[in-house]
Amino acid sequence: MVKIGIPMRYNHLEDGRCIVYLAERVRRTLQKAGAFVIPIVPVQDVDYCDTKWNEFAELTKEEKDSIELYLDMVDGVLLPGGHKVTPFDKYLLERCVERDIPTLGICLGMQLMSCYGENFQVYRNDTEIEHFQEDDNQLTHKVMIQKDSLLYQILAKDEILVNSFHRFHVSENPNYKIAAYSEDGYIEGIERNDLKFHLGIQWHPEISYEFDEDSKKMIDYFIKRCGEEND
């Protein structure tokens, strides 16, 4: 069975306590697609909820070694959505690139990819197009896919409808090829063709996996590609 590592995210409970969590939609979708999910736990001894992004210390050798142990166990990594990027996330991405581990970035995961090798920076959306919908069970705006991209190879379409749950967008990064734009011109997909599989998308196929053919194709292709690494 294909083993997919997913870094856990962090948030507050209603009573203020901090938790690290794995989103149910991500877990259930990957399991439906035939994968075995391995949560990758944040490694630093800090409060991940209340520590600001610029207050984190750099990872120690022992903390980096812990991440390496997780990566030794997986066939691929899915970088999920979330609210904050930390040294844990940055190092995890760097090692996925350096070890050429198949990687799918979703929402914040794509935004993290877009800042690879640079300081993390995103920009607030300013558009009439709805990029933060309330209903999980719908697709909300168009995305135009570049015909010379891996994303086009997967979907065989140059235009699709996607869901959208983000308030920020990214700029170009020289390490990545732009694979897709939203109809208002924001970057919606990025990829690297020098690696086995390295794709970031701004929308959430794990949420629409059961009712949208394009979302299912994307997740299934990612799992299939990870499985090929064991053949």
Distances (CA, A) of 43 to 58, 62, 63, 209: 11, 9, 6, 30
For residue range 163-172, list pLDDT tens digits in order: 988 877 788 8
Q: How confident is the model at residue 199 (pLDDT cuts 50, 70, 90)?
A: very high
Domain housing 69: 2-228
Amino acid letter for position 129: I
For residue range 178-192, list pLDDT tens digits in order: 999 999 989 999 999
CB count within 10 Å of CB 167 equals 10
Distance of alpha carbon 194 from the chain centroid: 18
pLDDT of residue 171: 85
pLDDT of residue 158: 96
pLDDT of residue 43: 97
In the chain, the number of structural domains is: 1
For residue range 91-140, list pLDDT tens digits in order: 999 999 999 999 999 999 999 999 998 777 786 878 878 778 788 888 88
Q: How confident is the model at residue 229 (pLDDT cuts 50, 70, 90)?
A: low
Q: How confident is the model at residue 230 (pLDDT cuts 50, 70, 90)?
A: low
CATH at residue 71: 3.40.50.880
pLDDT of residue 231: 53
This prediction's pTM: 0.94
CA 209/CA 194 separation, integer angstroms: 27
Question: Judging by DSSP bridges, how do beta strands 168-169 and 9-12 pair with one another?
Answer: unpaired
CA 64/CA 48 separation, integer angstroms: 17
